[in-house]
Chain A
């Protein structure tokens, strides 16, 4: 794949203007996604009418999107940086377990519910950093390193929890994350903040430019003076952090921590990132595209639920959408080179 890419020195700056300066390019790239989302909404309104086009239903879609969306934003960075992470679901589970043990909850009672948030985010970040170190310094292929994390993180979660579901007793935590200031659920606000921060980080900072460079051509990035290994660790740790945030959101939604949380989130997150237009081979990525990817999948789920259709049919539709998206992506990529 990388052979068909442009010379890295020119690839690196090109993606940056997408979505801002080069408005027409960004619009064209995301146009397909916007059209897909509009079509879904039209189908939703046509088939379910006011049940679809209501504020309550919009919030239901956004609440569903929030958890997986935050993970997908982190995944955008890792994939743009030329990696992949299969362990996100397991990390979400482990973080949710760690943050809801009787020990953590006792601590939360003493010093406030922030302790639970803090431990979830810390555990997520640590797992991500381990992934990063194994990949960058241990030279293990990302697929294998994160596969190992997938198995062991969920296993560890099961051991800690003894496969039981841990119930959150801290009312302060539940009240804060269950609140809806101005009618908008807190977890949706967090999702919005994470998305905005992700966009800024990828498109407006040195960190973002380095991410494109590392993903596009690591050798060239190294010659340009970027510490590729360290940057790789940062990317996986960042994804781990978003997994921790997702775990907190899931904890507030379910009022529990469980080793079964986050089942198959890796597939949902990767699918959303890919149909959003981020190249699986790295070097090109878009946070806005990922946002659309997540919204398309959750809206699809919602329309299917509203119309009483089975989740099996929905899985087929999902698969078809992924294939179409990747085919379109390849055509766009070919046209540019």
Chain B
């Protein structure tokens, strides 16, 4: 991955962002203009997918909504299901106890639901019960945290953690426009999580392509409090910074507080995950925040859409392939003042 030419990587990011945008826009137009479709030429794989079909019962379970992003996961899944009159959603929300989450899935199996959309608290721990559901003929959609067996889910929807780092790093490189010797700092999330390591790797790989590197790096824990603590330490340690990437906008509330307290404004800050508050700040353009990278909180909503398609035996619009893909990795586009209006409607509040 690191050998890819930066320009080409940028092209990838652009293409990904474009694809994401088309998906979002496509969804909007479909639901608003129900029957005025021009689909006859393309046949089955087209945009009449949102038309009411066979009744689908979907079970949904996710971890406790202890930060804004996770809260938005459930909210947007429910909102998505509400848009369809042929979807009945059973929500067993909010638990960080795998024993309880397993029993929730067991209840869905007993209920003989058609599909289960599952964001596991721990992907590995939920694998066996997901497998049980698949064996019982239920379509399982795995969201965000992957199972450790490919047999446990029909389709997996994932965010692109490495891509987040690449998008943030690419933004820094473009903005720096070839200048050397700039100081780059990074505030990571929980350091021992694989997703944090992937984000950091993507960031440093992208920086490497324009001769920059991370000079100061600290880790927080996704919470506001930890963000404030990590950032104030970082600002103390680094008297001058040019670019600062913060992995997570929920902890970013604390990071911004620390920056304000320290009275610093000499650098450009890039966020992560894409909360609405951060996007508002980018739009207002009166703070150090100039960009953020999206980690879609609509993953579970996409899971609901895919579950419905799979149960009704439909295919994905705009793909020639008949079957719904096995895995869907969502793009991690960079949001700046120029394109913030595109992403603001789907952003979450932290």
Chain A residues with CB under 8 Å of chain B are: 51, 54, 56-57, 60-61, 63-64, 67-68, 158, 162-165, 167, 174, 178, 250, 253-256, 258, 260-261, 263-264, 301-302, 305-306, 308, 310-312
Whether A260 lies near B96 (C-beta < 8 A) is yes
In the complex, whether B68 has a CB less than 8 A from a CB of chain A is no
Q: Give A173 to B129 CA distance when docked, in angstroms.
A: 16
- Against A, the Cβ 8 Å flags (1 = close, 0 = not) of B240-283 are 00000000000000000000000000000000000000000000
Whether B124 lies near A167 (C-beta < 8 A) is yes
Whether B99 lies near A68 (C-beta < 8 A) is yes
Q: Which residues of A contact B190 (CB under 8 A)?
A: 163
Whether B94 lies near A253 (C-beta < 8 A) is no
What is the CB-to-nearest-CB distance from A197 to chain B, in angstroms, rounded to a whole number? Answer: 22
Could you jot down 26 A-B contacts, CB within 8 Å?
A: A51-B111, A56-B110, A64-B99, A67-B99, A68-B99, A163-B193, A165-B122, A165-B123, A167-B148, A250-B98, A253-B98, A253-B99, A254-B102, A255-B128, A256-B125, A260-B96, A260-B98, A260-B122, A263-B96, A305-B92, A305-B103, A306-B107, A306-B111, A311-B92, A311-B94, A311-B95
Assuming the contacts A60-B106, A60-B107, A254-B128, asked whether A263 and B97 have C-beta atoms less than 8 A apart, the reply is yes
Q: Which residues of B contact A308 (CB under 8 A)?
A: 90-92
What is the CB-to-nearest-CB distance from B221 to chain A, in angstroms, rounded to a whole number? Answer: 12
Whether B98 lies near A60 (C-beta < 8 A) is no
What is the CB-to-nearest-CB distance from A128 to chain B, in angstroms, rounded to a whole number? Answer: 20
Q: Which residues of A contact B106 (CB under 8 A)?
A: 60, 63
Q: Which residues of A contact B203 (CB under 8 A)?
A: none
Q: Give A68 to B99 CA distance when docked, in angstroms.
A: 9
Whether A301 lies near B126 (C-beta < 8 A) is no
Whether B93 lies near A54 (C-beta < 8 A) is no
In order of increasing CB-CB distance, the 4 nearest A-B pairs are A254-B125, A163-B192, A64-B103, A165-B124
Assuming the contacts A163-B192, A165-B124, A167-B148, asked whether A312 and B107 have C-beta atoms less than 8 A apart, the reply is no
Whether B95 lies near A253 (C-beta < 8 A) is no
Q: Which residues of A contact B98 (CB under 8 A)?
A: 250, 253-254, 258, 260-261
* Closest partner residue, chain B, to A306 (CB atom): B107
What is the CB-to-nearest-CB distance from A192 to chain B, in angstroms, rounded to a whole number? Answer: 18
Q: Which residues of B contact A256 (CB under 8 A)?
A: 122, 124-125
What is the CB-to-nearest-CB distance from B101 to chain A, in angstroms, rounded to a whole number? Answer: 9
* Closest partner residue, chain B, to A251 (CB atom): B125
What is the CB-to-nearest-CB distance from A90 to chain B, in angstroms, rounded to a whole number? Answer: 14
Q: Give A253 to B148 CA distance when docked, in angstroms.
A: 15
Q: Give A260 to B192 CA distance when docked, in angstroms.
A: 13
What is the CB-to-nearest-CB distance from B300 to chain A, in angstroms, rounded to a whole number? Answer: 16
Q: Give A311 to B104 CA distance when docked, in angstroms.
A: 11
In the complex, whether B121 has a CB less than 8 A from a CB of chain A is yes
What is the CB-to-nearest-CB distance from B222 to chain A, in angstroms, rounded to a whole number? Answer: 14
Q: Give A302 to B111 CA distance when docked, in angstroms.
A: 12
Whether B126 lies near A254 (C-beta < 8 A) is yes
Assuming the contacts A261-B98, A305-B92, asked whether A60 and B127 have C-beta atoms less than 8 A apart, the reply is no
What is the CB-to-nearest-CB distance from B127 to chain A, in angstroms, rounded to a whole number? Answer: 6
In the complex, whether B4 has a CB less than 8 A from a CB of chain A is no
Q: Which residues of B contact A158 (CB under 8 A)?
A: 192
Chain B residues with CB under 8 Å of chain A are: 64, 90-100, 102-104, 106-107, 109-111, 121-129, 148, 190, 192-194
What is the CB-to-nearest-CB distance from B173 to chain A, in angstroms, rounded to a whole number? Answer: 32
Whether A310 lies near B94 (C-beta < 8 A) is yes
* Closest partner residue, chain B, to A311 (CB atom): B94
* Best-surrounded residue of A174, A178, A301, A311 (most CB of chain B within 10 A): A311
Assuming the contacts A60-B103, A162-B192, A167-B124, asked whether A264 and B110 have C-beta atoms less than 8 A apart, the reply is no
Q: Which residues of B contact A178 (CB under 8 A)?
A: 128
Q: Which residues of A contact B64 (CB under 8 A)?
A: 311
Whether A305 lies near B125 (C-beta < 8 A) is no
Whether A312 lies near B110 (C-beta < 8 A) is no
What is the CB-to-nearest-CB distance from B110 to chain A, in angstroms, rounded to a whole number? Answer: 4
What is the CB-to-nearest-CB distance from B269 to chain A, in angstroms, rounded to a whole number? Answer: 28
Q: Give A253 to B127 CA distance when docked, in angstroms.
A: 10
Q: Give A19 to B99 CA distance when docked, in angstroms.
A: 31
Whether A264 lies near B97 (C-beta < 8 A) is yes
Please pick, from A61, A258, A311, the residue contacting B122 in the complex, using a CB distance under 8 A.
A258
Q: Which residues of A contact B107 (CB under 8 A)?
A: 57, 60, 302, 305-306
* Best-surrounded residue of A57, A158, A256, A301 (most CB of chain B within 10 A): A256
Q: Which residues of B contact A164 (CB under 8 A)?
A: 192, 194
* Closest partner residue, chain A, to B95 (CB atom): A311
Whether B110 lies near A51 (C-beta < 8 A) is yes
Q: Which residues of A contact B100 (CB under 8 A)?
A: 64, 301
Q: Give A190 to B127 CA distance when docked, in angstroms.
A: 23
